[in-house]
Structure 1
Amino acid sequence: MSNPHTNPITKPDDINPGATQPAAVDQTSPVTQRGWRVVDIVVAAVLGVAIGLVFWIWNSIGGALFGTLDAITPGVGGLVVGPWLLGGVLGGLIIRRPGAALLVELVAAIVSAAIGNQWGWSTVVSGLFQGLGAELVFLAFLYRRFTLPVAALAGAAAGAGAWLNEFIFFGNRAKSAVFNLTYLGCLLVSGAVLAGALGWALTRALAASGALNRFAAGREHRARV
């Protein structure tokens, strides 16, 4: 039996009919939830393998272009490195979880090395440095901003990671300052354009196709249209 002295439950609308109710929080947003979902892990793996195949194709094309440009002006070969930096940018833009940029670039490098390339398993170390460069940019923005400028910065940072790896492990520190500065500048430009801007455009295209409906990038696209 109910207590006759107990006041009925009052609804918020009864207290202030004109009050505006707070909008529901999207619990899947990278701002509110940083944990990895099963779909994030699966997509990271698939994305890493797919980009690893892109790397494998670009190994021959990009390797030849790199050699040609470097023969003309040492260091300018860095202008064609961008496609090898794409994994970190795409991983960060699509999955939007801590570690996604690093993981996707690393998986792609492992796939490229496993299939076979001219650099062997040193490719994995390169992937580690490149992925870490992109990851640090997304971290700097607390995994909350995924605009074109941020993507370009992530691509450029991946290029800086590639430069640092080769400076330490591939003997570039024994080369001239002019070479190293030229190479770094070309890597930054290539990373910003061929990894950053291209990765951003690819993410938007995938979102428009509906492939990213379970991700924030897909929700953002639906909100725009």
Structure 2
Amino acid sequence: MATVSAPTERAKITSLLSYRTIDLVTVATLGVASGVVFWAWSQAWNGISTLALFTAPPVLGLLAGPWLIAGVLGGLVVRKPGAALAAELIGAAVEMLIGNQWGTSTLISGLLQGLGVEVVLALLLYKRFGVVAAALGGALAGAFEIFYEWHSYYSAWTWNYKLAYLGCTMLSGALLAGVVGWLLVRALAATGVLDAFGAGREHHARNAV
């Protein structure tokens, strides 16, 4: 039995780590498209963040979710180590190049946010890609970002403010990046554009007669 299972396990690992051309193109496409969304959201954020609802600074964390979605999309679609990180980092680079108020620090945020999703998928051994995995990935992406912001932007805040900001951001990441990202992947799979990926095959399996 061992002589049969060992090559099989090696084949699984090789398949997991090997990127096809379509994988690379898809990660890049998701990253670029998300980067444009990031930039648009950064422009909208300037106005939305001034509303009375967000006069308590930690509540601004509720607006963070859209910036975390690229990693969730990349991870759920391509399902290989590094896909979530690459998609989020590409998105951050595109947002920075178009122009936003955070400049090169956007790349640090993209790196940390992508790592948050990667950690969750790695803990799940890149075998689970449902709504729970997506929500956890979005939440941890938000947490990684806030640990950075605590030191870079909000070091003077009290711990009550810091923890409230962390909670709001993780909630936004879980819902607006995780759940919305999962729903978006399912919607894309229904169109047939993800037939070359696990999400597309799962869609056909669910709808098989």
TM-score normalised over the length of structure 1:
0.83
Q: Give the aligned partner of residue 154 of structure 1.
A: 137
1:63 aligns with 2:57: no
Equivalent residue in structure 1 for 2:169, among 181, 187, 202? 187
Give the aligned residue type for 1:119: W
Q: Deviations over 1:10-61 (max 9, x none)?
A: xxxxxxxxxxxxxxx9xx9889533111110111111100000000111111
Q: Which structure is larger by alpha-carbon Rg, 1 or 2?
A: 1
After TM superposition, the structure 1 stretch with the greater mean CA deviation from structure 2, 108-117 or 174-183, is: 174-183
* 8 Å Cα contact 2:16/2:81 also seen in 1: no
Unaligned segments of structure 2, at least 5 residues: 1-7
Matches of 2:194 and 2:13 in 1, distance apart? 14
Q: Which has more helix, going by share of residues?
A: 2
1:116 aligns with 2:99: yes
Q: Give the aligned partner of residue 15 of structure 1.
A: none
Matches of 1:107 and 1:41 in 2, distance apart? 12
Equivalent residue in structure 2 for 1:104, among 87, 99, 106? 87
**Distance change >3 Å, CA 71–CA 175, structure 1 → 2:** same
Q: Deviations over 1:151-208 (max 9, x none)?
A: 00000001101101111222x2221111101100100110000000000000000000
Matches of 1:56 and 1:49 in 2, distance apart? 11
Matches of 1:130 and 1:168 in 2, distance apart? 16
Equivalent residue in structure 1 for 2:118, among 135, 153, 156? 135
* 8 Å Cα contact 2:85/2:114 also seen in 1: yes
| CA RMSD, 1 decimal | 1.9
Q: Give the aligned partner of residue 42 of structure 1.
A: 25
Q: Give the aligned partner of residue 4 of structure 2.
A: none
1:208 aligns with 2:176: no
Unaligned segments of structure 1, at least 5 residues: 1-24
Sequence identity of aligned pairs in percent? Answer: 49
What SS does the aligned partner of 1:174 have? coil
* 8 Å Cα contact 1:148/1:196 also seen in 2: yes
Matches of 1:141 and 1:31 in 2, distance apart? 17
Q: How many residues align?
A: 198
1:217 aligns with 2:199: yes
Matches of 2:178 and 2:161 in 1, distance apart? 24
Matches of 2:22 and 2:180 in 1, distance apart? 24
* 8 Å Cα contact 1:152/1:191 also seen in 2: yes
Matches of 1:138 and 1:67 in 2, distance apart? 35
Matches of 1:183 and 1:68 in 2, distance apart? 17
Matches of 2:175 and 2:52 in 1, distance apart? 18
Give the aligned residue type for 1:92: G
* 8 Å Cα contact 1:30/1:144 also seen in 2: no
What SS does the aligned partner of 2:155 have? helix
Structure 1 residue 74 displacement after superposition: 2.1
